[in-house]
Amino acid sequence: MGVKILWYLTAPDGVVPWEADGRWQTDFGHLQQLASTIDKLGYYGALLATGADEVNVLAASVLSVTQRMKFVAAVYPGLIAPAKLAQIAQTINRFSGNRLVYNAVNGNDKMLPAQGIHLAHDERYDYSVEYWDAFKRLYAGSNQGYDGKYIKIAPRPADFGGGSQRGATPPRYEPFQLWGAGSSSAGVAHSVQTLDVYLSFANTPPKLGEKFRRVGAEAEKLGRKLEFGTRLQIIVRETEEEAWEYAEYLVSRTSVEYARQSIERQLPPGESFDTYVSPDPQVNRNLEQIRAGRLPKARDYEIYPNIWTGPALHGFNVLGPAQGTTLVGSAENVAARIREFQEQGVGTFILSGWPLIEEAYRVADLLFPLLDLDHGFDVPLLSPGRRPSQVSSIAAAA
């Protein structure tokens, strides 16, 4: 079985979007151009994260410039009532030919109260199990209502929908595919009951594989089987040298302040930036330099061949792999690492590199020919004149 490669359709964009001087204004025209690029290059789809733009609006607004890409749109359960979300999803899927799936995310205690969600961490997951159960039933066309602990929906009256719908045959919907994440015990318990595709931020291939086997075993206890996917940033070039040069450039464009803020977010409770001691000696060496006001060299954040915890939009994970983990290397070596992840049970890769359009081209050009892609359609070769073996030999010469 091949792999699915997705890209990222979320503002901001730029060369170094985690720094004010490297971030672009990502307006609607730019997002349309990005979506149409992702679609044209043959990515399976793209992740639409919570943040600047409302994901259903974003997906709907780029339907007319895309034909086959899927939209994996992040949703916090409870922000939109399940009956309304089911109608939104039905509409987008009717208009798009079933291209919308949701990424069920439950955020964190810091962000959610500002969205009007005040449930504590574990209760959010209890609520979420019900929410998605109700959503899926309504999406599939149930008119039976829902009587849960949190969610109560009355059965639908016969003339619901008004005059224009009366007498019409209701459309039929395939079961809705739900992707999602959650690493805590409550998050895993929720995932194995609710999700079809379980996502996790990346780690080294063996560690990610270990996590997925653990989650898979929990799902099996319920008689369920999940697919697994991961989220990575990527710097792929023709040679290792070029890729690491670019990683070095990104470090040179990153402020010590960004590193410090990211470390502070990652510290275990009760620890401080000035005194924290990691069990990993390389992390301690990196911390010493950052405390002295300078950033270590790019290679000092390589935790496994081609797996890098250098600066990225989603964090500069100096203390260890988290949201910002990046694949760095020649096309051939990155492809080998992707296959290593695949051997650990990972079938789906949600990638991003900045600027998003430029790097989407690089990945499609250099990496796609080296992978066995399972996108459900023929993925076009950007450089039909260049055979995969040429990419390999360029890499081998490095």
Instruction: Kindly state the smallest distance separating residue 68's Cβ from ligand FMN, in Å.
Output: 22
Comparing CB distances to ligand FMN, the nearer of 182 and 205 is 182
Residues contacting residue 325 through CB under 8 Å, at least 6 positions apart: 201, 202, 203, 232, 233, 307, 308, 309, 312, 317
Among 8, 139, 176, 201, binds ligand FMN (CB under 6 A): 201
Comparing CB distances to ligand FMN, the nearer of 231 and 237 is 231
> Considering only residues 311-350, where is the footprint of ligand FMN by CB under 6 A?
350
**What sign for the dihedral angle of Cα 227, 232, 238, 244?**
negative
A 10 A CB-CB count for 308 gives 29
Rounded distance between C-alpha atoms, residue 352 and residue 17, angstroms: 12
Q: Which of 246, 245, 239, 249 is nearest to 333 (CA)?
A: 239
Q: Which of 181, 186, 195, 193 is nearest to 123 (CA)?
A: 186
**Does residue number 252 form part of the binding site for ligand FMN (CB under 6 A)?**
no
Total residues at interface with ligand FMN (CB under 6 A):
18
**Does residue number 200 form part of the binding site for ligand FMN (CB under 6 A)?**
yes
Contact 381, 364 (CB under 8 A): no
Residues 26-65: x/- map of binding to ligand FMN (CB under 6 A)?
A: -----------------------xx---------------
Comparing CB distances to ligand FMN, the nearer of 310 and 315 is 315
> Token pair for residue 212?
């997925």
Q: Residue 62 has what DSSP assignment?
A: T
Among 14, 17, 78, 182, binds ligand FMN (CB under 6 A): 182
Please identify, among the stretches 88-96, 170-178, 193-201, 247-255, the one whose residues bind ligand FMN according to the rule CB under 6 A.
193-201
Among 14, 45, 187, 310, binds ligand FMN (CB under 6 A): 187
**Does residue number 90 form part of the binding site for ligand FMN (CB under 6 A)?**
no
Task: Give Cα separations from 85 to 58, 92, 101, 137 (angstroms).
Answer: 15, 10, 12, 12
Residues in contact with ligand FMN by the rule CB under 6 A: 49-50, 74, 103, 105-108, 181-184, 187, 199-201, 231, 350
